[in-house]
Amino acid sequence: MVAAARRRPSLGRQKIEIRRIESEEARQVCFSKRRAGLFKKASELSILCSADVAAVVFSPAGKAYSFGHPSVELLLERFEAPEGQVHVQGEGVGGEGQSVVAELNRQYGDLRAMLEAEKARREEVEEAMDKERGARSQVLAWVEAEVGGMEKEELMAFGAALSVVQHGVATHADQMLRDAMVLGRMSRAVPQGLENYYFHLLQTGQGHTAGAGAGAGDRLF
């Protein structure tokens, strides 16, 4: 401490947003630290609560790291065990949606745990989202209007379908646009300002059957 002004050793931990870290280096450092932290948490959980826990992590580079008690393989096997798979026996078209809903509810049961976790993150995201405007708010407004008139049953189906849609969008945005065009006669309610893009990108398209993925939810969805 010779110099008069001693440089502060560190600013201490800084708050960061939960979004991809752009800096290659920082991302790598963070990966190492958090991976270790995750495994530690997993370990503590298994010990404190006598629970079996397995965690697998693939680094961006492709390396695989894992933690498992009793062993990853064993747990994964148990997890994949088809013994629990639900078999929607002959989707007896005769049944009414209601029974399906009931079945769904039963299946998801404790899925509520997930909502719990999501809630936490949602709050953070919500904040950052306030700044966003533009096309986003348009889509939202549109959805809000549409959803507003749906019945529970429809809402569940909608939610399920959204799950699938979202994934497709994130993965193949362009292709999605084309497919969507072909499949739907999107002549109807389309967020303003977005319709132009549809036509703009429309070219070819082979229709696909829409499949919905169930979202999640204790009793809805």
Partner DNA sequence: CGGACTATAATTAGATC
Partner DNA sequence: TGATCTAATTATAGTCC
Which residues within the stretch 50-89 sit at the binding site for DNA (CB under 7 A)?
Answer: 59, 61
Instruction: State which of positions 153-192 bind a copy of itself (CB under 8 A).
Output: 153-174, 176-186, 188-192
Q: Which stretch binds DNA (CB under 7 A): 37-45, 70-78, 154-162, 203-211?
A: 37-45
Distance CA 40, CA 89 (A): 42
Neighbours of 103 (CB within 10 A): 13
Given 1, 4, 11, 81, the residue binding a copy of itself (CB under 8 A): 81
Given 14, 50, 89, 203, the residue binding DNA (CB under 7 A): 14
# chain residues binding a copy of itself, by CB under 8 A: 187
Length of the chain equals 221
Residue 42 belongs to what H/E stretch?
Answer: helix 24-49
The yes or no reply on residue 13 touching a copy of itself (CB under 8 A) is no
Cα angle value 133/154/187 (rounded, 5°): 60
- CB-nearer residue toward DNA: 52 or 153: 52
Alpha helices in 130-209 (DSSP H): 135-148, 152-171, 173-183, 195-201
- CB-nearer residue toward DNA: 28 or 46: 28
Q: At closest approach, how far in Å is the CB of 13 from a copy of itself?
A: 14
> With left for phi above 0 and alpha for psi between -120 and 50, is residue 180 left, alpha or beta?
alpha
The yes or no reply on residue 196 touching DNA (CB under 7 A) is no
133 binds, among a copy of itself, DNA, none (CB under 5 to 8 A by kind): none
- CB-nearer residue toward a copy of itself: 8 or 164: 164
Amino acid letter, residue 61: A
Distance CA 158, CA 149 (A): 12
